């Protein structure tokens, strides 16, 4: 590419709603790659003394497009890609291997996992619901965008189950467990409507709520489209980018372009906005994470849409950063109170796209540690026990992909799971990082059977959160 690519969040309209063709039949590629053993692995990254880069699984030709987000179930990591998704066996974290790949284009491939089901976002209009359907124009009223559902009970042979259409498609999705044990819900975030798009009409000030009967996931359907911004919200808000839920506390935080919001999800089928905040330094409210006690929330600002080189001295420490808010007031009337910013302290070059992106808590009960992706800024480990004075305590950072021009790449998401950090690198594949720091020893006692970073569990020593 001779010039920086369009930011990922803009490709929805630039490519997905245009005529860019990513046709191809659904297919599976089984167990193609087993990386070298850990004792022969040589890292190309610079790390702090308390991190070790232990493995990398390069992308295959099937998944040659950009890697995106991650979810985890048992001994498996599932990685999204603009071409579909990959299932990795991480039972030996320092020797991960690809089990299968599902070729199913439709956008950045955001995903959630629930038992044997994968919920997969589609935001580029397709001519049909099946994986092999070619792209189509957003002006096509019969075009499909929304959620595809897959059965991954056989990890080597995932099966397509069903599709659910949602307005403006699905840029991201968030799994929300039901309270009756018979249903679960998927919150679908999307944005950028147009009067020219019959399935994405303005004002798009809402999300879609999909209800999934656990005994019949093929009958999943949209049960509500709650309006989150009845007054229209910020002038830059036309939907939400991402929502993180904390079911144990019946709360959710929404990153909604020009607004950050807090929601009551005590009825998961009908979320209710309880507070809204704005920040003149935030260009694009992108994602959110709660602390384990549910009293603090960290929002990220994706200044430049992920395609810009904004981790520079010129941009400064308050833009393209994290903003930390405490939650004050009673549960019925909470208020988000700003505490401070955190920006990657290691300045990156002008050819490195870098901005605050996806991360998760390191599960140390009673303490607040966070691991976070910064695209070509790499992976940062931070201490935000004092939300007014956040500091970096570890890092993983590669050299620029290209010293002479801005090329999109780097860590899209970095998450802690059962003793290791897994980083989905846009161009270089899956990285596995070992934390070697006494502050995180207790985290190794927290075992998770399943982990969707946007559906936060409550951590307790020696226990996971189950499903």
Spell out the long-range contacts of 221-227 with Cβ–Cβ below 8 A and sequence spacing 24 or more: 221/164, 222/164, 222/165, 222/166, 223/269, 224/269, 224/270, 225/167, 226/270, 226/271, 226/272
Q: How far apart are CA 72 and CA 415, in angstroms?
A: 10
Q: Where are the extended beta strands (E) located within 31-171?
A: 45-47, 51-57, 67-73, 76-81, 84-89, 97-103, 111-114, 117-126, 144-151, 159-165
State the chain's mean pLDDT as an integer: 91
The predicted pLDDT at position 460 comes to 79
The pLDDT score that the predictor gives to residue 463 is: 52
Per-residue confidence (pLDDT) for residue 330, from 0 to 100 = 81
Whether 295 has a pLDDT exceeding 70, the answer reads yes
Between vectors from CA 418 to CA 412 and to CA 423, what angle results, nearest 5°?
Answer: 15
The arithmetic mean of pLDDT across residues 115-133, rounded, is 97
pLDDT number for residue 36: 42
Domain boundaries of the chain, sorted by first residue: 8-451
What are the C-alpha distances in Å from 315 to residues 257, 308, 405, 412?
Answer: 20, 11, 19, 21
Give the model's pLDDT for residue 466.
Answer: 44
What would the pLDDT profile of 367-377 be if each residue is shown by its tens digit? Answer: 999 999 999 99
pLDDT above 70 coverage of the chain, percent:
90
Question: How many Å apart are CA 42 and CA 273, to the nearest integer?
Answer: 48
At 28 the pLDDT is 44
In the sheet that holds 183-189, the strands lie side by side as 172-177, 183-189, 208-213, 221-224
Placement of tokens 């390069």 in the chain: 58
Token pair, residue 388, equals: 């007014």
pLDDT at 37 over 60: no
Closest CA to 312 of 279, 280, 353: 353
For 313-361, the pLDDT digits (tens) are 999 999 999 999 999 988 779 999 999 999 999 999 999 999 999 999 9
How long a stretch of residues is the chain? Answer: 467
pLDDT of residue 24: 32
Please, which pLDDT band fits residue 378 given cuts at 50, 70 and 90? very high
Strands across the sheet with 117-126, in order?
111-114, 117-126, 144-151, 159-165
| Span of 18-27, 84-93, 242-251, 261-270 with lowest mean pLDDT | 18-27
DSSP-assigned beta bridge partners for residue 78 = 71, 87
Q: Provide the β-strand partners of residue 396.
A: 47, 379
Query: Helix, strand, coil shares of the chain as percentages rounded to 5?
Result: 5, 45, 50
Instruction: Compute CA distances 413 → 421, 423, 426, whole Å.
Output: 10, 6, 9
What are 163-176's pLDDT values in tens digits?
999 999 999 999 99
Average pLDDT value for residue range 272-287: 98
pLDDT per position as a tens digit, 398-435: 999 999 999 999 999 999 999 999 999 999 999 999 99
**Does residue 464 have a pLDDT over 90?**
no
Residue 268 · residue 179 · CB < 8 Å: yes
| Residue 294: closest CA among 253, 325, 249, 335 | 249
142 falls in which pLDDT band (50, 70, 90)?
very high
The three-state secondary structure class of 109 is: coil
Query: In degrees rounded to 5, what are phi and psi of residue 16?
Result: -60, -30
pLDDT surpasses 90 at 397: yes
The predicted pLDDT at position 329 comes to: 87
User: How many Cα atoms sit within 13 Å of 198 on the Cβ side?
Assistant: 8
pLDDT band for position 14 (50/70/90)? Answer: very low
pLDDT at 98: 98
Average pLDDT over residues 88-95: 98
Confidence at 201, pLDDT banded by 50, 70, 90: very high
Which residues lie closer than 8 Å to 194 by C-beta, 6 or more apart? 13, 17, 138, 200, 201, 202
Assess whether pLDDT exceeds 50 at residue 6: no
pLDDT of 423: 98
Is 363 exposed, middle or buried (CB count within 10 Å of its CB: 0-12, 13-18, 19+)?
buried
Residue 220, pLDDT above cutoff 50? yes
Provide the pLDDT for residue 16: 33
Does residue 20 carry a pLDDT above 70? no
What's the pLDDT score for residue 332?
79
Which of 3.40.50.300, 3.40.309.10, 2.130.10.10, 2.60.120.40 is the CATH number of 8-451?
2.130.10.10
């Amino acid at each position: 590419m001779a010039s920086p690519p369009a930011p990922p969040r803009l490709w929805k309209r630039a490519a997905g709603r245009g005529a860019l063709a990513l046709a191809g039949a659904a297919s599976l590629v089984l167990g193609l790659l087993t990386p070298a053993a850990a004792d022969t692995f040589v890292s190309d990254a610079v790390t702090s003394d308390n991190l070790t880069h232990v493995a990398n699984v390069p992308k295959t030709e099937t998944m040659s497009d950009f890697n995106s987000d991650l979810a985890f179930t048992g001994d498996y990591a599932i990685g999204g890609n603009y071409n579909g998704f990959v299932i990795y066996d991480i039972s030996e974290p320092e020797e991960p291997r690809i089990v299968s790949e599902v070729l199913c284009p439709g956008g950045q491939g955001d995903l959630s996992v629930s038992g044997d089901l994968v919920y997969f976002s589609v935001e580029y209009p397709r001519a049909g619901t099946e994986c092999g359907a070619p792209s189509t124009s957003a002006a096509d009223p019969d075009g499909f965008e929304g959620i595809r559902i897959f059965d991954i009970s056989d990890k080597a042979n995932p099966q397509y189950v069903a599709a659910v259409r949602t307005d403006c498609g699905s840029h991201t999705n968030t799994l929300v467990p039901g309270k009756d044990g018979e249903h679960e819900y998927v919150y679908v975030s999307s944005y950028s409507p147009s009067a020219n798009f019959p399935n994405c009409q303005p004002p798009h000030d809402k999300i879609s709520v999909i209800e999934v009967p656990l005994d019949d996931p093929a009958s999943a359907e949209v049960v509500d489209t709650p309006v989150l911004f009845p007054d229209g919200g910020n002038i830059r808000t036309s939907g939400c980018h991402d929502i993180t839920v904390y079911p144990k506390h019946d709360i959710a935080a929404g990153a909604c372009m020009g607004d950050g919001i807090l929601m009551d999800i005590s009825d998961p089928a009908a979320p209710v906005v309880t507070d809204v905040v704005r920040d003149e330094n935030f260009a694009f409210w992108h994602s959110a994470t709660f602390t384990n006690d549910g009293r603090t929330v960290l929002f990220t600002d994706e200044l430049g849409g992920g395609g810009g080189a904004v981790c520079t001295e010129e941009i400064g420490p308050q833009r393209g950063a994290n903003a930390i808010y405490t939650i004050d007031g009673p549960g019925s009337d909470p208020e988000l109170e700003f505490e401070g910013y955190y920006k990657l302290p290691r300045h990156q070059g002008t050819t490195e796209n870098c901005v605050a992106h996806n991360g998760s808590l390191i599960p140390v009960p009673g303490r607040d540690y966070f691991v976070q992706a910064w695209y070509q800024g790499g992976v940062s480990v931070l201490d935000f026990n004092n939300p007014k004075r956040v500091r970096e305590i570890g890092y993983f950072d590669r050299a620029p992909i290209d010293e002479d021009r801005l090329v999109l790449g780097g860590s899209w998401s970095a998450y802690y799971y059962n003793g290791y950090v897994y980083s989905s690198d846009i161009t270089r594949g899956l990285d596995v990082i070992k934390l070697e720091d006494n502050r995180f020893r207790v985290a190794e006692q927290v075992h998770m059977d399943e982990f969707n970073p946007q559906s936060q569990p409550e951590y307790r020593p020696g226990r996971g959160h189950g499903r």
